[in-house]
């Protein structure tokens, strides 16, 4: 969903209501046992990314980590930002 169209995090009922989350990303989150937006509160996006890589048996595209950063940030702060705005942060922390 486009960030400007997202409900406040506490009102989001579906993963698909989160910014930058489409069906594929929702399926990835569900693979990690996350079924509701509230289950992302306080989670470490880097750990979620590593767990997804482990569960799928392959290294995920770095953009997936950017998306994890964006949804965790949104749920924790209420600020909806485009996933690519997290790329510089990811590059500073991880060389992916």
pLDDT at 2: 53
Q: How many domains does the chain have?
A: 1
Do residues 46 and 52 lie in contact, with contact meaning Cβ atoms separated by under 8 Å? Answer: no
**Which pLDDT tens digit goes with each residue over 17-61?**
999 999 999 999 999 999 999 999 999 999 999 999 999 999 999
**Which pLDDT tens digit goes with each residue over 60-85?**
999 999 999 999 999 999 999 999 99
State the pLDDT confidence band at 4, using cuts at 50, 70 and 90: low
**Domain span including residue 23:** 3-93
DSSP for 7-48, please give it: PPGGG--SGGGSTT--HHHHHHHHHTT--SGGGGTT--HHHH
23 token code pair: 């069906």
Q: Which residues are CB-neighbours of 20 under 8 A, at least 6 positions away?
A: 1, 3, 67, 70, 71, 82, 83
Q: What is the percent of the chain with per-residue pLDDT over 90, rounded to a whole number?
A: 80
pTM for this model (two decimals): 0.90
User: How many helices and strands, by DSSP H and E, does the chain display?
Assistant: 4, 0
């Amino acid at each position: 969903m486009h960030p400007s169209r997202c409900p406040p995090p506490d009102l989001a009922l579906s993963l698909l209501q989160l910014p930058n989350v489409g069906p594929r990303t929702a399926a990835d989150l569900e693979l990690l046992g996350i079924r509701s937006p509230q289950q992302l509160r306080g989670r470490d996006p880097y750990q979620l990314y590593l767990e997804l890589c482990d569960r799928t048996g392959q290294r995920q595209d770095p953009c997936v980590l950017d998306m994890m950063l964006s949804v965790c940030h949104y749920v924790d702060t209420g600020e909806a930002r485009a996933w690519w705005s997290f790329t510089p942060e990811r590059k500073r922390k991880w060389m992916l």
